[in-house]
Amino acid sequence: MVGKKKRNNGIILTLVGILIAVYILFPFYLVVMNSFKKQAAIVANPISVANASFAQFKTNIDTVVNNSNFNFWYAFGTSALITILSLVLLAVLGAMAAWVISRNNKKKWATAIYMVFIASMIIPFQVVMLPLISTFRDVGKFVGISMLQSVPGAIFAYCGFGGAMTVFILTGFIKGVPYDLEEAAAIDGCSPEGTFFKIIFPLLTPVVTTVTILNGMWIWNDYLLPSLMLGQNGKVKTLPVAVQAFVGSYVKQWDLILTAALLAILPMIIVFLIGQKQIMHGMVEGAVKG
Amino acid sequence: MKANTVASKALSIAVMAASLILLFAALALDFTGSGFKGRGALLVVGMIGFFVGLYLFPTPKNHRKIVYIIFLFPLLFTFAVTVIIPLVLGIGYSFTDWTGVAITKNVGLANYSTMFHDPAFLYSILITFIFVVLNMVLINLVGFLLALLCTSAIKATGFFRAAYFLPNLIGGIVLGYIWQFVFNNVLTKMTNTSASILSQSKPALIAIVVVYLWQYGGYIMLIYITGLTQIPGDVLEAAAIDGANARQTLFQIKIPMIASTITICTFLTLTSAFKQFDVNMSLTNGAGSVPNFMGSYLSNGTQMLALNIYNTAIAKNSYAVGQAKAVLFFIILAVVSLIQVRVSNSKEVEL
């Protein structure tokens, strides 16, 4: 009797789980399905599979990819470049700074820097965004380096904004790495920078992965910072900014908007399918530590 | 050996000197208002060159210190330029008539007074608080229930976890447009109504909550799953032997044992809901009519705090007032974070 009741419970729970999954995945289905249709067919019936064709899908994709407001490949490349370079710089520079802080944690200056980093994590982007733009514009004009509407400027800003959390998580980890390792290396005649890059940095792989996933999800999907720094109508656009510009120019053209949405979410979905475990693990680790 | 040291010392000093010359040349060009395009490159090369020279300096005693400085500098520099300096400037600007480009005079608290006399802004604060509370309760409840489902003894929990988490991968802008389609075209078709729920303020606010729940619930679920799986198995076993039923196990063992996870999730949902911007912008862009709020008609029925700040500065071009609002936003978040630290610390003492 008990066994049967338990099995029934299991079936009910599985059904509930499937229903929730259907609800959560339904918008994805709509995006994919309607990218295969014409606007008229979408408006007539947005749910059905009827009138969907590969030929139409190809037409939609071509229209969207070649659209001057969207310019998919260029936006994708810009997003990828900004995200990857920011992640590499944040990982390396963050680990360097975190190592110095954790190896001097008894000294006042290191504690002060660490405290400033932690305190800065509560600063919302809104309170710095307006002066940031004007400072970048003025300083850029003054020294002759264009910080706005430029990829290096965006990378610079991401290093600044992501620095605090990166250092915070990495410092916590490095404190747990035994100091003996470094002393042994020093006795063998290894320089401090050599010790860091040859011994410490490789040991940080798991925590660097966590930090990279957290920062990557944020930077790839971020809209406000690139829209302000690169401009809505500027030449350089990231993917979210391009989607916004594209939708603004095609109000209610759902065949094109949903195809653009599909193109915008596809890279992230592919990355997720490849590194599902690491991504879910990293997101939790980051939340629990940060 | 000694000749070697002298040679490398000379090299180091030469590199540093050359870099400093470049640096000063670049700065001189800046200050004389020269339009020379290469001055930015001169500055960067000079800066990097200086550190290279410093690194090459042969001093066994202080080498470690030099490495520390070189390791800390890049991140601290970007951090100071992008966070600290704008923060200080921003707080200062909020007391002036800043236009985004120039400042002519100090206006004291006038910007703050303007913003507190603006019904549209007060309305934004109000709905932001309502949104935050609704979100905090709903997301935690749903996330926790999903976590219970995904840790129960059913098949395919791996698939469920991945599926529930999937919306979290997508940025708010794209997600907002997808849901705009769902609300405006799909839902109206399915229910055979002509008006979308996005066209009225209150239902539209509920719609934002639904979308945010859809996006964020799976993430909070993952954190709860981690908390639930960290409960030692023997505790649950002992409870089962003592004859505790499922409900008793849940309320008297599982929930008390994941208290710290609940704290984390509560503050995570709280701060992220406060900062909500992308979905708000792409789903409704803050539109929606409010017939009467404090005696005036409002057209920003779904505009939350972050979007209000953005629109004040960027769309309406009042940078100073926008900045003052942002400072208030910062203060609210700082207070919330301080409470969080308090609560987490007192919890740790209890355990």
Mean pLDDT of A182-194: 87
Indicate whether A159 pLDDT > 70: yes
Burial class of A37 by CB neighbour count within 10 A (0 to 12, 13 to 18, 19+): buried
Which residues does chain A have within 8 Å of residue B268's beta carbon, measured at their own beta carbons? 287
Which residue's structure tokens are 């802080």?
Answer: A101
CATH of domain B113-350: 1.10.3720.10
CA–CA dist A285, A283 (Å, integer): 6
Q: What is the pLDDT of residues A108-134, one digit of tens each?
A: 999 999 999 999 988 999 999 999 999
Amino acid at A97: A
Instruction: Please compute Rg for chain A using Cα positions.
Output: 24
Using alpha carbons, select from A140, A130, A275 the residue that is nearest to residue B92: A130
pLDDT at residue B1, rounded to an integer: 47
Q: What is the pLDDT of residues A100-109, one digit of tens each?
A: 999 998 899 9
Indicate whether B149 pLDDT > 80: yes
A145 to chain B, minimum CA–CA distance in Å? Answer: 5
For chain B, residues classed under CATH 1.10.3720.10 are 113-350
B306 to chain A, minimum CA–CA distance in Å? Answer: 7
| Percent above pLDDT 90 for chain A | 62
Q: Are A213 and A91 in contact (CB under 8 A)?
A: no
Which residues does chain B have within 8 Å of residue A29's beta carbon, measured at their own beta carbons? none
Band (B349; pLDDT cuts 50, 70, 90)? low
Shortest CB distance from A167 goes to which of B63, B75, B160?
B75
Across the interface, whether the CB atoms of B337 and A264 are under 8 A apart is answered no
| Average pLDDT in chain B | 89
CA–CA dist A177, A190 (Å, integer): 18
> Can you tell me whether residue B96 is helix, strand or coil?
strand
Kindly compute the dihedral angle of the four CA atoms of residues B254, A283, B341, A121, in this order, to the nearest 10 degrees.
-170
Q: What is the separation of C-alpha A252 from the centre of its chain, rounded to a whole number of angstroms?
A: 28
Of the residues B61, B63, B79, the best mutation for testing chain A's interface (the one with the most A CB atoms within 10 Å of its CB) is B79
Q: What is the pLDDT of residues B265-323, one digit of tens each?
A: 998 999 999 999 999 999 998 888 888 888 889 988 899 999 999 999 998 999 999 99
Band (A290; pLDDT cuts 50, 70, 90)? low
DSSP state of A48: -
Q: Are A286 and A211 in contact (CB under 8 A)?
A: yes
CA–CA dist B298, B296 (Å, integer): 6
pLDDT at residue B347, rounded to an integer: 65
pLDDT at residue A3, rounded to an integer: 60
In this prediction the ipTM stands at 0.90
pLDDT at residue B2, rounded to an integer: 59
Q: Give the sign of the dihedral formed by CA A230, CA A236, CA A242, CA A247.
A: positive
Using alpha carbons, select from B106, B151, B140, B142 the residue that is nearest to residue B261: B140
Indicate whether B351 pLDDT > 60: no
Q: Is B89 in the A-facing interface, judged by CB distances under 8 Å?
A: yes
Which CATH fold would you assign to the domain A72-289?
Answer: MetI-like fold (1.10.3720)
Q: Are A167 and A100 in contact (CB under 8 A)?
A: no
pLDDT at residue A2, rounded to an integer: 52
Q: What is the pLDDT of residues B173-229, one digit of tens each?
A: 999 999 999 999 899 888 888 788 888 888 999 999 999 999 999 999 999 999 999
B42 to chain A, minimum CA–CA distance in Å? Answer: 10
